[in-house]
Structure formats: structure tokens, C-alpha cells
């Protein structure tokens, strides 16, 4: 009975809003009136001003256009490409699993390294940023695909073979379809991870985008600007997550 109550409280929007309101009130009271000058959190009135100055002084509009395009275009293009070449990819995965395991080892290299090396090779280039994001997301989708393949139910493959479905069609109509649910779950995580590495790339490579705005705000010691930027970035990532979940619901109309 108690467990049920806890679950209901967690799920209630009203309680979430109340909790958030309390946090905001405490924050406003504490940092607007009691501790207005500190290095931990910005003054609420300054934070509000920073939202405007991010657009007017830091050029956040064009920066957001570049970062979001880099993230979402690369996810979209990569997913479409994977869908088109799914039979080829899957057959390659089945035939050369050792190759994939070796390539998969590159995931243990820190994303920071890839960002640095890419910025080193192609400095100050938005095109390079798009290519970097595309390679990163394709690599991550590829690894997810490889991880999901052994989980495909053997009865689907047996049934398909028995029904004399061609091998390429088994890859596209059965295996690729059957891993969609898990692939989309991975895509939500990949999306968050991709934002992190794109921001890192922009920060290091000083290319236009959110990452560069972070760099500027840091160079000006603009604490409120950094917090405002974090809130906006968070909103973008949250909206992206909602969008991916929406498409998941539209594309996948079945349960595992």
C-alpha cells in the first residue's frame, strides 16, 4: 500500500510543480536578497537578464541553429542511412564479428580525444563539425546494432528461413525491424551523449555553436550567462528527447 502511494506521488505533476516552485522561491530569497554576491549561483535578476544577453551579445540564435543542426541532422541522416544499408551492415556484422569487436574497442577512448583530434585536423569549420557529429552518431548506432543482434529471437529467424524469405530480406524485414525498439531506446541515450561531444568539439575547436558560447561566457567570467546557457541547453536536449520519443511512438507501433 505504501509503495503504491510513493509511486502515485512520483507520478503526480502537481507535486512536481510544487517542488519546483519551492526550490525557485528558496533560490530567489537566498540569492536575490540574502547572498546576492557569491561565486556559487547567480543572482536571479541577473540570470533573467542573461537570457536576453545570450541572444543579443553572444549570438545564441545562430549558435543554437548550428549545434541543433549538427546533432539532429547527423542523427537523422545516420538513421536513414542505416535503414537503407541495413541488410549490408547486418550481413557484414554476422560475417565479420571480430572486426566489429576490434572497432568497438575505440569506444573506450575518451570522447574528449576525438573532439581534440578532429578540431586539430579541421579547425574552425562547421562542415567538419557536421562530419564529426555524423561519424560519432553512426559509430554509436553501429555499436548499438552490434549489441542488439545477438538478442534477436531465433524463432523469428527460423520462421523466416522456413518461409523461404531471402537472406537480404531477413536482414531488412526481420532482424532490422526486430531491433528497432531497443535501437530507439539507445538512440535516446546516444542523443544525450552526442550533445555532450558536440559541445565539447565546439568548445575545443572554437567553432560556432553552443560550445563556443560556453567558452565566451567562461572567458568573461559570466556566471549568470553560464547558468542561463545551461538552462537553455538543457531545454534543447529535453525537447530533443521528447521528439525522439514521439518519433519512436510513430515509427514503432508494436511491442516486443
Q: Are 194 and 186 in contact (CB under 8 A)?
A: no
| CB 68 to other proteins: min, Å | 30
Dist. CA 161–CA 156, nearest whole Å: 9
Using the minimum distance from each CB to other proteins, give the nearer residue, 156 or 236: 156
Q: Which three cell numbers stand for residue 234?
A: 538543457
Using the minimum distance from each CB to other proteins, give the nearer residue, 39 or 164: 164
Dist. CA 36–CA 166, nearest whole Å: 70
| CB 138 to other proteins: min, Å | 24
Query: Residue numbers of the site for other proteins (CB under 8 A)?
Result: 153-156, 158-159, 161-165, 173-174, 177-178, 180, 252-256
3-state SS class at 165: coil
| CB 246 to other proteins: min, Å | 19
Using the minimum distance from each CB to other proteins, give the nearer residue, 87 or 225: 87
Of 185, 165, 162, 168, whose CA–CA distance to 94 is shortest? 168
Dist. CA 5–CA 203, nearest whole Å: 45
Using the minimum distance from each CB to other proteins, give the nearer residue, 90 or 237: 90
| CB 80 to other proteins: min, Å | 18
Give the number of other Cβ atoms within 10 Å of residue 117's Cβ: 13
Of 161, 189, 186, whose CA–CA distance to 174 is shortest? 161
| CB 173 to other proteins: min, Å | 7
| CB 251 to other proteins: min, Å | 10
Q: How far is CA 141 from the centre of its chain?
A: 12
Query: How many residues are given for the chain?
Result: 256
Using the minimum distance from each CB to other proteins, give the nearer residue, 8 or 167: 167
Using the minimum distance from each CB to other proteins, give the nearer residue, 126 or 181: 181
Q: Where are the alpha helices (DSSP H) in 163-222?
A: 167-169, 176-178, 180-205, 210-219
Amino acid at each position: 500500500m505504501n509503495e503504491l502511494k510513493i509511486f502515485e506521488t512520483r507520478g503526480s505533476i502537481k507535486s512536481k510543480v510544487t517542488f519546483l516552485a519551492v526550490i525557485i522561491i528558496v533560490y530567489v530569497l537566498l540569492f536575490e536578497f540574502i547572498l546576492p554576491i557569491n561565486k556559487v549561483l547567480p543572482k536571479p535578476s541577473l540570470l533573467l537578464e542573461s537570457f536576453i544577453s545570450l541572444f543579443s551579445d553572444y549570438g545564441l540564435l545562430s549558435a543554437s541553429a548550428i549545434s541543433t543542426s549538427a546533432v539532429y541532422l547527423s542523427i537523422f541522416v545516420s538513421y536513414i542511412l542505416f535503414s537503407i544499408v541495413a541488410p549490408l551492415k547486418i550481413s557484414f556484422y554476422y560475417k565479420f564479428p571480430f572486426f566489429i569487436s576490434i572497432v568497438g574497442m575505440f569506444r573506450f577512448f575518451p570522447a574528449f580525444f576525438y573532439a581534440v583530434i578532429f578540431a586539430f585536423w579541421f579547425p574552425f569549420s562547421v562542415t567538419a563539425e557536421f562530419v564529426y557529429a555524423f561519424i560519432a552518431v553512426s559509430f554509436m548506432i553501429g555499436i548499438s546494432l552490434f549489441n542488439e543482434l545477438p538478442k534477436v529471437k531465433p524463432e523469428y529467424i527460423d520462421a523466416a528461413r522456413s518461409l523461404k524469405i531471402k537472406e537480404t530480406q531477413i536482414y531488412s524485414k526481420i532482424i532490422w525491424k526486430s531491433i528497432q525498439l531497443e535501437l530507439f531506446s539507445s538512440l535516446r541515450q546516444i542523443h544525450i551523449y552526442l550533445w555532450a561531444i558536440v559541445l565539447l568539439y565546439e568548445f575545443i575547436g572554437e567553432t560556432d555553436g553552443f560550445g563556443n558560447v560556453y567558452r565566451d561566457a567562461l572567458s568573461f567570467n559570466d556566471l549568470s550567462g553560464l547558468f542561463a546557457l545551461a538552462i537553455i541547453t538543457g531545454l534543447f536536449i529535453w525537447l530533443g528527447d521528447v521528439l525522439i520519443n514521439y518519433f519512436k511512438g510513430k515509427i514503432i507501433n508494436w511491442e516486443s
